A and B are shown apart, each in its own frame.
Chain A
Amino acid sequence: MEKRLSLIRRIDNTGVPLLLARLFVGSIFAWLAYNKLLDPIEFLKQTREYHLVPEDPPIFLTLTAVVVPWLELLCAAALILGVYARGAAATLLAMLLFFAPLLLIRAWHLYQDPAGGFATFCAVEFDCGCGTGEVFICAKTLENTALMVGALLALLSRSKRFCLGALITRLRAEKTSSAAFERA
């Protein structure tokens, strides 16, 4: 068991799994956020369909539509660059854990609705407001699961390789130590 752990640690220490996870989750979220930002009104309409936030007063719904795409984009950029990567991964993971079940619930309601005429649950196709237009629920769930795994990996990895944040910290530390050396 210990051997296996050390193997996982060794692989993690290379920084490659973290880099791949960061690029995968970051690029997909950047794409989704970009699409939402292209048409914020459409995102507002789709958000309303979930009845997540109280509609009275309207500020809850409108603020969600204004902030969520930017939060996604910032987290995506943070992940790709490796600045605040853990916080970004945790934020995106929290969002996925919140929204993925809601998607399934909405798809289930559509499946149960005779007017929808969906033969199987996987045949349910709808605009989930995710930024990709109409999607099949099973494909979307698979995508969400992969994103959750990627975000979890980025959150739990101990590696700091290929991260801009770690590089900045190291350069700052070097600068401080050289200044201290000069003072001495």
Chain B
Amino acid sequence: MKAIASTISQMIILCVLGLVVGLSVNAVRGKDHINLWRDYTPKINDGNTGGTEADEPQQPAEPAKERPFQILVLDQVIEIFEDDKTAYGLHVFVDARADTPYQAGRIPGAVQCDYYRMDFYVGSVLEYAAGAEKVIVYCNGGECEDSLYVCGELLNAEVPWGNIYFFKGGWEDWERSGQPIETGPKE
């Protein structure tokens, strides 16, 4: 009985210690800090329920935050990429992936905005987005939801809904199509 009580008290001490150390270290972590109160998985409208195609007149009745984002497919993204406006910063590509995949390969010129480290990136992304006509957000493609989360955050940060585009096929489609890529850290 005494041994059981002692084991349980040891477990409690270890759990409390884990909690204290975990919270303390998290508080001083820079980029990898987890915001305890942030909803990292907000409800998003992924466009599957009547998603909108880009370049069509967009004036749906519902408020901007409830509208599905404008979806782009590979051909449209390539067209935008090859447009002169891209070179002038009027079309901005936003990569919603983490450091490792971003540095391994991205759409040339894409700005990183890892959704889970939003606080770290949002300032610079908003600077790029401020003067842009089109902000094209992508992540891995497939089941990846991070780009939609970033679209939501951009909308929250007052980037006009009409300027935000969601590249559904994402990196997988881009890489598979043999388009040019950029690697390494962003200069």
Contacts and interface: CB of A to CB of B under 8 A. Distances in A.
A45 B21 CA distance: 21
B19 interface: yes
A74 interface: yes
B25 A70 contact: yes
Contact of B11 (A44, A48, A91): A91
Contacts of A41: 32, 34, 98, 116-117
Contacts of B14: 71, 74-75, 78, 84, 87-88, 91
Contacts, number: 93
B98 to A, nearest CB: 7
A63 B40 CA distance: 12
A74 B29 CA distance: 19
Interface stretch (B2-10, B59-67, B88-96, B125-133): B2-10
B34 A66 contact: yes
> Range of interface residues on chain B?
20 to 34
A44 B37 contact: no
Interface string B32-46: 101111111100000
Contacts of A45: 40, 116
Nearest to B39: A58
B181 interface: no
Nearest to B10: A87
Given A69-B22, A70-B25, A62 B35 contact: yes
Contacts of B22: 66-67, 69-71
A39 B32 contact: yes
A90 interface: yes
Given A44-B40, A87-B7, A62 B34 contact: yes
B13 interface: yes
A40 B39 CA distance: 15
Contacts of B41: 48, 55, 58, 61
Interface residues of A, number: 33
A58 B37 contact: yes
A74 B37 CA distance: 25
Contacts of B6: 86-87
Contacts of B11: 87, 90-91, 94
B15 interface: yes
Contacts of B15: 71, 91
A88 B22 CA distance: 17
Interface string A66-82: 11111100110010000
A18 interface: no
B23 interface: yes
Between A41, A55, A94, the greatest number of chain B beta carbons within 10 A of the residue's beta carbon is seen for A41
A70 B19 CA distance: 8
Interface string B89-120: 00000000010000000000000000011000
Contacts of B29: 40
Interface in B40-86: 40-41
12 contacts: A41-B98, A57-B37, A58-B41, A59-B36, A62-B40, A66-B23, A69-B22, A70-B25, A75-B14, A86-B10, A90-B10, A91-B14
Given A48-B40, A58-B37, 12 more contacts: A39-B32, A44-B40, A48-B41, A55-B39, A61-B40, A62-B37, A62-B38, A69-B22, A75-B14, A84-B13, A86-B3, A87-B6
